[in-house]
Amino acid sequence: MVSNGERNKRKVLPPDERREMILDAALDVFSKGGFQDADVDEIAQLAQVGKGTVYRYYPSKRELYLAVVERVFDHLEARLEVVQGQSQSPSQVLRAGVAEHVRFFTENPRCWRVLVIGRLENRFHPCHDTMLAHHTLLESLTTLIRKGIASGDFREVDSEFAAFALMAMAATVVEKHFHQDRDTLQEDINSALDIYLRGIGK
Amino acid sequence: MVSNGERNKRKVLPPDERREMILDAALDVFSKGGFQDADVDEIAQLAQVGKGTVYRYYPSKRELYLAVVERVFDHLEARLEVVQGQSQSPSQVLRAGVAEHVRFFTENPRCWRVLVIGRLENRFHPCHDTMLAHHTLLESLTTLIRKGIASGDFREVDSEFAAFALMAMAATVVEKHFHQDRDTLQEDINSALDIYLRGIGK
Amino acid sequence: MVSNGERNKRKVLPPDERREMILDAALDVFSKGGFQDADVDEIAQLAQVGKGTVYRYYPSKRELYLAVVERVFDHLEARLEVVQGQSQSPSQVLRAGVAEHVRFFTENPRCWRVLVIGRLENRFHPCHDTMLAHHTLLESLTTLIRKGIASGDFREVDSEFAAFALMAMAATVVEKHFHQDRDTLQEDINSALDIYLRGIGK
Amino acid sequence: MVSNGERNKRKVLPPDERREMILDAALDVFSKGGFQDADVDEIAQLAQVGKGTVYRYYPSKRELYLAVVERVFDHLEARLEVVQGQSQSPSQVLRAGVAEHVRFFTENPRCWRVLVIGRLENRFHPCHDTMLAHHTLLESLTTLIRKGIASGDFREVDSEFAAFALMAMAATVVEKHFHQDRDTLQEDINSALDIYLRGIGK
DNA sequence: AATGAATGAGGATTCATTCAT
DNA sequence: GATGAATGAATCCTCATTCAT
């Protein structure tokens, strides 16, 4: 006989599941109005957890916030790793990576908002994990573009800047997707990549 | 010899100058952490003005905020109007416009931050003046690109998307400028435009 | 040629008239929500006078308030003096006095409110002029009733208490007048006096 | 031996007791100077409770205020119900009721003040519970007087007005009690009822 | 371990009073 | 004398954090 009745006040959940619920609720709330606007009470309620419990899992609102951001990066990286596995031409890798990147964020708007707001709210110190994750992403892009230049696929652009620019193109597609009614996602991904690859191509 | 000692409690300034000081202080404070984070007290102190004075000029923190954003757009538009005056090829206009846009924001980092944070904090209603200004900017870009297509300067890209993408490229340059130590502004502007124009060019 | 144009910003008024306007405006505002609720700004505007001017005539909001109350008592006393002049039987004097009292306050609701609120807000110290005025009123009533007892018109009631009770009856009529729609003032005055005079009569 | 030292920061009280302490403190503070004058901080301190706690129990200063007023009426009604139970002549019921009414308020000066100030501050909307309670009181008085007229105990007075007048007499006694040094309460109650009953009697 | 009531520092806003013009 | 802009103390309310159960 399982104690799993609907009426149980105190659900018995494994800590990991509980932690997950908290993180998820936090993502929801932080993504609405950023760090300041978020109310720990609201997070606790959404997570169906006492407020004190939130503080048992994370020592402060700030730590919880950083954990949320970190998890978003983890998810993103997991999605991007799949792409990197396949060995293809630099252009193809770029195409696949951007498409995946854009799809991840358009499918998970809360993840997008939480990252973008976070960056602008200056919430994380530049040396924080979350910022490092961002840097890592940029660096692998830079490397990829360098490879493309070396292989003769791309012309001699400033690889570091080109990496930045690619992120910006991707971001554009995502933002555009959120700010309009029609669904032009696939076309926009193509438009973005066409402009960009033509722009850095030979 | 006027009794203009530094220690005067009650300064005597023309209202416009005072309003300017408040707006300036507000830009400073809002640009640090967005709307929520900003402390009216801090704004008042920075403006060397009593807290009540802030409220004499603006009925609420929110109104003050919107006034700040509006002023930023006004300044930006003033800078861009100069460019629009000159009749040139679409490419040249784009080049000049982007360069001016980027320079304005890199020279006025607080203006940049206040706009970007504001958009993400969802602080302004889409039908608000500030949002309209943004739309106007996008629309004139779209128009310009359409002209370029018509004149055969650009290929048949999705003009609306291309406008978005250009804003993103410009944003990239600005953000990159703020996030690094070396000054590569001019190179980056060129890189961005090279990639972009080549990308949409024939 | 008189400088009495409608367009004159700075009206040239004799100080007494100005003082009168301020007192009148103050009566208006204080009678709405008592002392605390009143806004000096509102008084100044109503009096068509700068805020600083209010402070030239009265050193503080509190003093202004007391002046208002004092003036109300002065008006009331002026009205009651007329009655006292006529020599008649104690009953007749009481009748006439109560009627006049009630009429004064029903005709001047703001005067009523300002006094009643004031008393309850504990705004004046018991030894203040305004309180003394109240006492004086009570005392002359007490004396009058004593005379009535001496002359055999009234029975041997506690004259001091009877004075209190008469004030209460009068107050009742006034309050009832303000709290209902129909105009039953004259009937109520009669009802009150009938009950009261029968109550203290032989 | 429990660690129940006086200096404990976080007291452990049953919520009802705490709510009671807050209401009591609020009665204290509101009765001093009415709604506007009252300082939530002061209420919290008096209740030996954090400011936030006050807001946990009552969502705003205003709600707290209304709760206080409501409780006063509840207490009063409880006291008056005892009287109504006994079946007696209208005069006797009136006597007993007034005496109880007066005693309740003279024993609880804060209750008196809070009601009276409240009414004058126009704090409650006429359709609010608190006002309804007042009306109910008046109506039962009116009914009682009508009965007395029907039974031939009283003469044909305006029953509605007579109810008003009785309230006023009672109020007089209470006010007089608070404004003098000697304790003449019982005599005054008698005086009031003598005058009144004789006034409306046959 | 989980809870949520209690806390109080913090922040937006008001308004009596002052003072330079 | 008259003015009203400037001031900042005062006050309501919020919410991150703690802690007794």
CB spacing of A165 vs B169 below 8 angstroms:
yes
Q: Residue B164: which of D111, A188, A50 has the closest Cα?
A: A188
How far apart CA D199 and CA D202 sit, in angstroms, is: 8
Q: What is the pLDDT of residue C87?
A: 66
Torsion of CA D124, D127, D129, D134, to 10 degrees: 80
Closest chain A residue by Cα to residue B119: A117
Length of chain C as a residue count? 202
How far apart CA A67 and CA D33 sit, in angstroms, is: 51
Confidence of residue D199 (pLDDT cuts 50, 70, 90): very high
Closest chain D residue by Cα to residue C114: D120
Q: What is the pLDDT of residue D66?
A: 92
Label residue B50 left, alpha or beta by phi (over 0 means left) and psi (-120 to 50 means alpha): beta
Q: Residue A162: which of B194, B95, B164, B112 has the closest Cα?
A: B194
How far apart CA A172 and CA A164 sit, in angstroms, is: 12
CB spacing of C113 vs D120 below 8 angstroms:
yes
How far apart CA D67 and CA C164 sit, in angstroms, is: 32
Structure tokens at A18: 């509980």
Confidence of residue A61 (pLDDT cuts 50, 70, 90): very high
Q: Residues of chain D with pLDDT > 70: what percent?
A: 89
Closest chain C residue by Cα to residue D171: C168
How far apart CA C61 and CA C38 sit, in angstroms, is: 9
Q: Do chains C and D touch (3 or more CB pairs under 8 A)?
A: yes
Separation of D56 CA and E14 C1' (Å): 25
Mutate to test the interface with C, among D117, D119, D120 (most CBs of C within 10 A): D120
Which residues 95-134 of chain A have a CB under 7 Å from nucleic chain E? none
Q: What is the pLDDT of residue D134?
A: 82
Q: Is the pLDDT of residue B1 over 50?
A: no
> CA angle, corner B107, sides to A199 and B40, nearest 5?
125
Give the C window 15-34 contacts with D, CB below 8 Å: 33-34
Which amino acid appears at position C191 of this protein? Answer: S
Of C37, C175, C196, the CB nearest to D36: C37
Q: How confident is the prediction for chain B on average, in pLDDT? A: 87
Structure tokens at B162: 């291309």
3-state secondary structure (DSSP) of residue B108:
coil
Which residues 2-61 of chain D have a CB under 7 Å from nucleic chain E? 9-11, 13, 15, 18, 48-53, 55-57
* Shortest Cα distance, chain B CAs vs residue A101, angstroms: 16
Span B20-26, average pLDDT:
97
Whole-Å CA distances, B178 to A184, B102, B185, B186, C26: 32, 12, 10, 14, 58
Separation of B61 CA and F18 C1' (Å): 32
Which amino acid appears at position A152 of this protein? Answer: G
* Shortest Cα distance, chain A CAs vs residue B173, angstroms: 8
Out of 3.40.50.1370, 3.40.50.720, 1.10.357.10, 3.50.50.60, the CATH code matching A66-200 is 1.10.357.10
By mean pLDDT, which of A42-51, D38-47, D112-121, D145-154 is the weakest? D112-121
Q: What is the pLDDT of residue A127?
A: 64
Give first-to-last CA distance, chain C, whole Å.
Answer: 69
Mutate to test the interface with A, among B172, B185, B190, B197 (most CBs of A within 10 A): B172
Which residues 33-62 of chain D have a CB under 7 Å from nucleic chain F? 38-41, 51-52, 55, 59-62
**What tens-digit pLDDT sequence spans chain C (202 residues)?**
444 444 445 557 788 899 999 999 999 999 988 888 899 999 999 999 999 999 999 999 999 999 999 999 999 999 988 887 666 888 999 999 999 999 999 999 999 989 887 776 665 566 677 778 888 888 999 999 999 999 999 999 999 999 989 998 998 899 889 888 889 999 999 999 999 999 998 8
Rounded to 10 deg, the angle between the C129-150 and C61-85 helix axes is 20
Cβ of A39 near strand F (under 7 Å)? The reply is yes
List all nucleotides in chain F with at least one atom under 7 A from a protein Cβ: 1-21
Cβ–Cβ < 8 Å for A85, A60 = no
Q: Residue A165: which of B106, B135, B90, B190 has the closest Cα?
A: B190
How far apart CA C144 and CA C159 sit, in angstroms, is: 9
Q: What is the pLDDT of residue C33?
A: 82
Confidence of residue D7 (pLDDT cuts 50, 70, 90): very low
CB spacing of D192 vs C121 below 8 angstroms:
no
Cβ–Cβ < 8 Å for A177, A185 = yes
By mean pLDDT, which of A94-108, A123-137, B34-48, C156-170 is the weakest? A123-137
Which nucleotide has its C1' atom closest to residue A58's CA?
Answer: F17
**pLDDT tens-digit series, residues B94-131:** 999 999 999 999 999 999 989 888 876 665 666 677 77
Confidence of residue D135 (pLDDT cuts 50, 70, 90): confident
Q: Residues of chain D with pLDDT > 90: what percent?
A: 63
Q: Is the pLDDT of residue D131 over 90?
A: no
Q: Is D156 on the interface with C (CB under 8 A)?
A: no
Span B79-88, average pLDDT:
78
**pLDDT tens-digit series, residues B156-187:** 999 999 998 999 899 889 988 988 888 999 99
Confidence of residue B5 (pLDDT cuts 50, 70, 90): very low
What class is the B68-200 domain? mainly alpha
Q: What is the pLDDT of residue A4?
A: 45
Q: Is the pLDDT of residue B4 over 90?
A: no
- Chain C to chain D Cβ contacts (< 8 Å): 102
Q: Residue B98: which of B165, B198, B31 has the closest Cα?
A: B165
Higher pLDDT, C178 or D56: D56
Of A113, A167, A195, the CB nearest to B157: A195
Confidence of residue B7 (pLDDT cuts 50, 70, 90): very low
**Residue ranges per structural domain of chain A:** 66-200
Buried residues in C108-135 as b, exposed as e (16+ CB within 10 A): bebbbbbbbbbbbbebbeeeeebbebbe
Which nucleotide has its C1' atom closest to residue A41's CA?
Answer: F15
How far apart CA B23 and CA B58 sit, in angstroms, is: 10
Q: What is the pLDDT of residue B181?
A: 84
* Shortest Cα distance, chain C CAs vs residue D182, angstroms: 13
Q: How confident is the prediction for chain D on average, in pLDDT? A: 87
H helix or E strand, kind and range, residue C94:
helix C90-107
Torsion of CA A42, A48, A50, A55, to 10 degrees: -70
Q: Residue B32: which of D119, D177, A36 has the closest Cα?
A: A36
CB spacing of D158 vs C191 below 8 angstroms:
yes
Separation of A50 CA and F19 C1' (Å): 14
* Shortest Cα distance, chain C CAs vs residue D178, angstroms: 12
CB spacing of D33 vs C121 below 8 angstroms:
yes
Q: How confident is the prediction for chain A on average, in pLDDT? A: 87
CB spacing of A158 vs B187 below 8 angstroms:
yes
Structure tokens at D18: 């705490």
Q: What is the pLDDT of residue B69?
A: 92
Give the B window 63-102 contacts with A, CB below 8 Å: none
* Shortest Cα distance, chain A CAs vs residue B149, angstroms: 14
